[in-house]
């Protein structure tokens, strides 16, 4: 075990004992214990106190239909009849596979914490394709999970990661389920697609702290270019996408591009936020319309659920400025929690770094998770 995690584990045991003695009889105390054990389980499997006190979860691969579409997912749940609190999980673009240890650990940790967890898998998102139909699929998946016999329909939420967090927020605003979603935990979401595009293109981010240099991950560039070029030929789309993801180093023969292709190329070639913003307005109408529909900024007024936001300050796929903007836009709502991290995540993956703030951040994470654990306690 890493020294830092060993120290955290020791502190967790002390905290668990104290909390159990002082608050064990209360719902808040029990949820605190659960959240601390949950955090240790997610970050390291070499020792997991959570496994000592809880039964092995049941894991099932499920297929179900919605409006003629066949959807699939993996369900982690506690053994027994329930009813249990539940959460729908969506990992977003090019997600980790179902067998990835991080996916398995999270599913097991939730099930051992007395929650049913359903991962919804999207074949389009695996290929880096973002469409509005995924919002409908999330809504259908939520309804399916909520109607399972062992699920308490009054205690069901949605958890999303990166793009999945943004889609989770949009799905929660849908009138078909907005009254039923108890919470949304959005980890590393973008707030506005136009703003995200400008950040990726100009390699900067902007919030109340001003404009900062930001180096986007190659995946962010690829996903943006793929999304913008979805209505032009594959050959033309490949030319533009390869040029953009390879740092725009080679010149493109514009005679090979259609009018729409030239507009997209012009946008992706901008170096400043102002230039990118102006070029954005020249995009075809369908591009701007879809980016608007896929922006949580266009839907947050219709979200009735509690909103929990998490973000890695050093995130290279979506700048932390987006979660800050989301939090600011929710000003006035009482059921909102925002937690930033600087040393325990790499984007949305657990990644402990040595530093004086690591232990503090682990406990801050546990406090954040407690809001979810209250649903299952």
Q: Residue range 48-77: average pLDDT?
A: 90
SS (H, E, C) 61-74: EEEEEECCEEEEEE
What is the pLDDT at residue 358?
A: 83
Q: What is the mean pLDDT of residues 76-82?
A: 94
Domain 12-192+295-376 sits in CATH at: 3.40.50.1820
| pLDDT at site 21 | 47
The CA distances from residue 160 to 166, 168, 319, 335, in Å, are: 7, 6, 16, 18
Number of residues that this document lists for the chain: 377
Q: How far apart are CA 338 and CA 324, in angstroms?
A: 8
Look at residue 12 in the predicted model and tell me its pLDDT. Answer: 56
pLDDT at 27: 82
Does residue 1 have a pLDDT over 70?
no
> Is the Cα dihedral 143, 67, 166, 114 positive or negative?
positive
pLDDT of the residue at 351: 85
Across the chain, mean pLDDT equals 90
Contact 138, 171 (CB under 8 A): yes
46 CB neighbour count, 10 Å cutoff? 9
Band of residue 5 on the pLDDT scale cut at 50, 70, 90: low
Residue showing tokens 């007024």: 301
Q: Do residues 375 and 182 lie in contact, with contact meaning Cβ atoms separated by under 8 Å?
A: yes
The pLDDT, as a whole number, for residue 352 is 75
pLDDT at 25: 60
DSSP codes of every residue in 108-134: HHHHHTTEEEEEEE-HHHHTT---THH
The pLDDT tens digits of the residues spanning 305-339 come to 999 999 999 999 999 999 999 999 998 788 999 99
**Residue range 263-294, pLDDT digits in tens:** 999 999 999 999 999 999 999 999 999 999 99
Above 50 in pLDDT, residue 184?
yes
Residue 178 tokens read as: 């907005």
* Strands 336-341 and 345-346, sheet pairing: unpaired
Rounded Cα–Cα distance for residues 355 and 360 (Å): 10
From 334, 340, 329, select the one nearest 296 (Cα to Cα): 329
- Expressed in percent and rounded to 5, the helix, strand and coil fractions of the chain are 50, 20, 35
Query: Which position has the token pair 């104290």?
Result: 18
What is the C-alpha to C-alpha distance for residues 11 and 266, in angstroms, rounded to an integer? 54
User: Could you tell me how far CA 377 lies from the centroid of its own chain?
Assistant: 24
With contact defined as beta carbons under 8 Å apart, do 27 and 19 qualify? no
Residue range 112-153, pLDDT digits in tens: 999 999 999 999 999 888 999 999 999 999 999 999 999 999
Domain ranges, ordered by start, for the chain: 12-192+295-376, 193-292
Cβ 168 vs Cβ 160: under 8 Å: yes
pTM of the model: 0.92
Could you tell me which residues are beta bridge partners of residue 339? 310
């Amino acid at each position: 075990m890493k020294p830092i995690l060993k120290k955290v584990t020791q502190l967790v045991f002390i905290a668990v004992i104290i909390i159990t003695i002082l608050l064990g009889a209360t719902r808040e105390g029990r949820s605190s214990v659960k959240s601390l054990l949950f955090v240790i389980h997610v970050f390291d499997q070499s020792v997991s106190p959570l496994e000592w006190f809880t039964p092995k979860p049941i894991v099932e691969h499920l297929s179900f239909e919605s409006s003629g579409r066949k959807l699939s997912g993996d369900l982690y749940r506690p053994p027994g009849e329930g009813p249990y609190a539940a959460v729908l999980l969506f990992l977003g673009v090019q997600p980790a596979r179902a067998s990835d240890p991080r996916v398995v650990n999270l599913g097991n940790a939730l099930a051992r914490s007395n929650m049913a967890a359903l991962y919804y898998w999207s074949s389009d998102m695996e290929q880096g394709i973002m469409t509005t139909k995924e919002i409908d699929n999330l809504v259908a998946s939520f309804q399916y999970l909520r109607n399972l016999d062992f699920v308490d329909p009054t205690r069901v939420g949605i958890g999303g990661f990166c793009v999945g967090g943004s889609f989770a927020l949009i799905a929660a605003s849908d009138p078909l389920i907005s009254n039923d979603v108890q919470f949304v935990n959005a980890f590393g979401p973008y707030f506005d697609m136009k703003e995200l595009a400008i950040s990726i293109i100009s390699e900067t981010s902007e919030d109340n702290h001003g404009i900062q240099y930001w180096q986007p991950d190659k995946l962010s560039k690829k996903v943006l270019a793929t999304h913008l070029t979805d209505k032009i030929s594959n050959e033309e789309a490949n030319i533009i996408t390869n040029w953009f993801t390879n740092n725009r180093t080679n010149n493109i023969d514009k005679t090979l591009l259609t009018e729409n292709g030239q507009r997209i190329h012009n946008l992706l070639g901008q170096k400043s936020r102002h230039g990118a913003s102006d070029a954005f307005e020249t995009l075809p109408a369908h591009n701007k319309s879809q980016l608007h529909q896929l922006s949580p900024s266009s839907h947050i007024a219709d979200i009735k659920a509690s909103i929990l936001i998490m973000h890695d300050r050093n995130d290279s796929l979506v700048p932390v400025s987006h979660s800050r903007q989301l939090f600011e836009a929710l000003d006035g709502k009482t059921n909102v929690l925002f937690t930033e991290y600087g040393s325990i995540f790499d984007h949305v993956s657990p990644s402990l770094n040595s530093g004086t703030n690591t232990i503090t951040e682990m406990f801050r994470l546990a406090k954040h998770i407690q809001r979810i654990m209250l649903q299952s306690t």
